[in-house]
Structure 1
């Protein structure tokens, strides 16, 4: 459901020091750039233009750069708002003696400014790594971090409880249909601080849909469990709780945990390293819906976490390809890194019985889900394997390719292989501006260009965004 949290080495002893800093431009990764005596400091929980007191969280005389959290705002930006989640509020958390939880690092910023900052990051990455200028004439990021740049990153959905009369900070909540939690040694559900193995107990998850919060995992005794993954489909179908047992946990302990959950919730145990899922109660999968199709997603299989993301992304991809004349009845297309078939199913609708769709996914379990989801579409061929290998084995003249790689992007070798398949167009879906911009640069080296771009704020109150691009060969 979500990638494993990566723990970083514990901060050096010098990291307790506090500094007064002027917050500079936003940078990729959820922080801004500040400087102290010539040294770069990546600072979180600030806003460009502010003066703050910051606590060093990673520091050392030999380090190339330091990291810091804001603990006091001395001169606030007009875009600063009260954080909606106390545990993620850096100044409040440090005043209680612990770092803030990760996952809501932009919660102190007005939503419109959040989107402007994300637009700035996307623009800077494309300019630096691919030579593509989204804001021609701008010499540095500071020139296009104004609210006017926010239009590049589109808002998606609204708070289901309504937004009229609410402050900006109270919007953009309850969108996560998936959540990942760690468990403290005492058996309480919690979340990691940024770049840390420190687990902070939580008692709510404001970004999660009600289907996750109503489980009240924070009231449960989860001793014997290392991780908990939850999926609560936006269509209201049966949710799934995955428990990753600690080594040596007995079946009796698992049964006691299952008994604490509502009867209408499926529960399974899973081993993240082996990608193995075993039922404890109910089924080991959830049913998702998007673009007129139902999808079975087994265990921790990938699905977009924003409740409106699947439909939004399918709409952007198919519009780019259809409007450009690359997709229609009889077209030959491929869906690469296809997952459970989110894009494959609507592509099959578009090409009809006279066209064909090659769907390629590397993960065996997810590929099996795709076979179940697409069993009624004879024009679809589903292949489990690496994208570059499958394309070599099944050469054909494609009208279009849909590319939705993991966060690391496609990479130079895959880009070269895609170009060698001679498609007329490629729709590229990306969740990481840096790997996306790098790959756009590789496409340009192969004689292709960026013909269209849309970006979506599918992760409000975080630094993440999703981009959909249309790439075509230069004439």
Structure 2
């Protein structure tokens, strides 16, 4: 039986970065996933989780030999026992992108058999002050804060350096009933929207405390939508992704395009401009509010048909054959059934927007089974200081 190491302090050599915001180390035949360390460092790490299997998790609580890429975190709570929102504040920003690129490349190689050099590109504005939507929870003292990593414990905060300046002022400026969950969103015009969340029968509902209808700007359009619905969290991400999608989709005039997991129709608007009034854009989104927002925002584009429902159910109604498909699935990816359904449409090009490199790599392996190859890939640091990365893949 494996000895339980919970609470034990280990002296470790930190190995390569792994998917999820930690690095890999090994001791006595076991894998140790270490947070707050960097490749090549020697640290003392305290085990924070051990379920008795072949691996455990630990926090680097003391750095014995530091990496040349280590910096002082801009937030004192980005440390063992602190807030769980950031993974890489202790690494210089350029090195953070190198770590993320290594993760994307490793996932592509391991899960899809694709060997490719990856570069993660920064977005303008720097690594701080970018997060436009933050979810908070009130602790026992009524102060709003963020949860610790892998924990329900609330870490009270006075500010969050990665949040858009001013976005949290109202939420942090008063006391709340303990356990109250809040979501603050700063929109494209700088207005802050705040709601209180509650869970009823497993579904999250919100009581709007201020605002509610957000204004965003992307793809040469103004968007009015639910402030707490899906929209890219980084202020520059939506327009960056829309521009790249337009370049790679290259839908033919009077052609047919699909926009799957369409949200409010950002990519559908791009595709509509390309196919023109004589073409068709078949868009699918499961969120009811997003569908309503999208239909209202795209009312001037009759070539767009935005349907509400699950992608795997509605693709049977999609016009075929399709010239180009754009998909932006949730973190878990599209999955084999959706990939098979897309391949049945025989698109010439597929533009896959992904927020999880493991799910992307798995789905690329499914597409390869239908004869589609990865011909281009770009990755963006749309979530600085965290382990998350946004990728866009072109398949043909």
Question: Helix, strand or coil for the counterpart of 2:365?
Answer: helix
Is the 1:174–1:207 Cα contact (8 Å) retained in structure 2?
Answer: yes
Q: TM-score, normalised by structure 2?
A: 0.95
Q: For 1:177-326, list aligned pairs within 5 A.
A: 177-213=132-168, 215-223=169-177, 226-236=180-190, 238-245=191-198, 273-281=202-210, 283-298=211-226, 300-322=228-250
Q: Partner residue of 1:93? A: none
Distance apart, 1:230 and its partner CA: 0.8
Q: Partner residue of 1:116? A: 98
1:125 aligns to 2:78 (yes or no): no
Q: Partner residue of 2:125? A: 158
The CA distance in 1 between the partners of 2:21 and 2:167, in whole Å, is 25
Q: Partner residue of 2:353? A: 429
Picking from 100, 103, 117, the partner of 2:82 is 100
The CA distance in 2 between the partners of 1:271 and 1:293, in whole Å, is 36
Q: Partner residue of 1:467? A: 391
Is the 1:278–1:284 Cα contact (8 Å) retained in structure 2?
Answer: no
The CA distance in 2 between the partners of 1:16 and 1:448, in whole Å, is 48
Question: Helix, strand or coil for the counterpart of 1:87?
Answer: coil
Question: Helix, strand or coil for the counterpart of 1:228?
Answer: strand
1:378 aligns to 2:307 (yes or no): no
The CA distance in 2 between the partners of 1:296 and 1:18, in whole Å, is 52
Q: Partner residue of 1:260? A: none
Distance apart, 1:272 and its partner CA: 9.4
- Unaligned stretches of 5+ residues in structure 2: none
Distance apart, 1:226 and its partner CA: 2.2
Change (3 A) 1:275 1:199: closer
Picking from 370, 377, 386, the partner of 1:446 is 370
Is the 1:23–1:49 Cα contact (8 Å) retained in structure 2?
Answer: yes
The CA distance in 2 between the partners of 1:271 and 1:239, in whole Å, is 25
* Cα deviations by residue, 1:179-220 (Å, 9 ceiling, x for unpaired): 11111122111111111111111111100111314x242231
Question: Helix, strand or coil for the counterpart of 1:73?
Answer: strand
Distance apart, 1:400 and its partner CA: 0.4
Q: For 1:46-57, list aligned pairs within 5 A.
A: 46-57=37-48
Distance apart, 1:303 and its partner CA: 0.8
The CA distance in 2 between the partners of 1:347 and 1:183, in whole Å, is 43
- Structure with the bigger percentage of strand: 2
The CA distance in 2 between the partners of 1:87 and 1:354, in whole Å, is 55
Picking from 84, 97, 103, the partner of 2:74 is 84
Change (3 A) 1:187 1:407: same
Change (3 A) 1:278 1:58: closer
The CA distance in 1 between the partners of 2:207 and 2:138, in whole Å, is 20
Q: Partner residue of 1:4? A: none
Distance apart, 1:14 and its partner CA: 4.6
Is the 1:225–1:243 Cα contact (8 Å) retained in structure 2?
Answer: no
How many aligned positions are there? 394
* Cα deviations by residue, 1:429-470 (Å, 9 ceiling, x for unpaired): 000010000000000011111011100011111111000011
Decide which moves more: 287-296 or 431-440: 287-296
Question: Helix, strand or coil for the counterpart of 1:467?
Answer: strand
The CA distance in 1 between the partners of 2:317 and 2:269, in whole Å, is 23
Picking from 35, 55, 58, the partner of 1:65 is 55
Q: TM-score, normalised by structure 1?
A: 0.80
Decide which moves more: 286-295 or 449-458: 286-295
* Cα deviations by residue, 1:375-434 (Å, 9 ceiling, x for unpaired): 111111111111122111234221101000000000011100100011111100000010
Decide which moves more: 76-85 or 387-396: 387-396
Question: Helix, strand or coil for the counterpart of 1:16?
Answer: coil
Distance apart, 1:125 and its partner CA: 0.5
The CA distance in 1 between the partners of 2:340 and 2:11, in whole Å, is 48
Is the 1:391–1:421 Cα contact (8 Å) retained in structure 2?
Answer: no
